[in-house]
Structure 1
């Protein structure tokens, strides 16, 4: 279960390397006891390409809102920019991705049921 937080200045949080995701840093806003309970800002470095990881699937719901920059979905052959949103149920294939400019996204994860 996620901890309780009243409003706080999230910009005061340090950007930290995201575990298992080279080229991605994060500000964890709220987390629970598993990878499936997370709200974070994720910042992808300019030039990041996740082709080597292939298509992604996970066992949790994931919602992503692009705040800055651009993100190219190499499977869909489409580029998404600030203001684009994705909602993915458990097991939904997505990616791989690349970004020329870098991007910042708000990501929320919920356990699959």
Structure 2
């Protein structure tokens, strides 16, 4: 498989810069935004890898679990998130910044909610063919 990321030495990421966009699968009014910082993921051809920062605003919530066919590694940089709430936003396990998850393809996860908002550093990738 071809390398899908360019070589980048340490460089500043401006979290207030333009380039944030609605992540695939999130409602336009959810307030969720992503900033792709490296690579690209081709979900149609099931190849590639990307690293992104995902931002959830205060009061963010999803109400159904999700699943995808690629690996996902998530490191919470700051904020709070409750994972595994029900469709009413109740229950689940609460976490704060400097927490990590790794999910193989096909792993159901969520729903999610955040009281104060959060920033997540995520890597998504397919197993090499």
* TM-score computed with the length of structure 1 as normaliser: 0.85
User: In the alignment, is residue 63 of structure 1 matched against residue 73 of structure 2?
Assistant: yes
Query: Partners of 2:98 and 2:68 in 1: how far apart?
Result: 24
Runs of 5+ consecutive residues of structure 1 not aligned to the other structure: none
* TM-score computed with the length of structure 2 as normaliser: 0.76
Q: Is the 8 A contact 2:55 2:118 kept in 1?
A: yes
Runs of 4+ in 1 over 6 A off after TM superposition: none
Structure with max Cα Rg: 2
User: In the alignment, is residue 94 of structure 1 matched against residue 97 of structure 2?
Assistant: no
Query: Partners of 1:33 and 1:92 in 2: how far apart?
Result: 18
Runs of 5+ consecutive residues of structure 2 not aligned to the other structure: none
Q: In the alignment, which residue of structure 2 is the partner of 1:7?
A: 10
Higher alpha-carbon deviation: 3-12 or 88-97:
3-12
Structure number having the greater helix percentage: 1
**Structure 1 residue 17, shift from structure 2 partner:** 2.3
Q: Is the 8 A contact 2:41 2:125 kept in 1?
A: no
Partner SS, residue 104 of structure 1? strand
Return the match for 1:19 from 23, 41, 51: 23
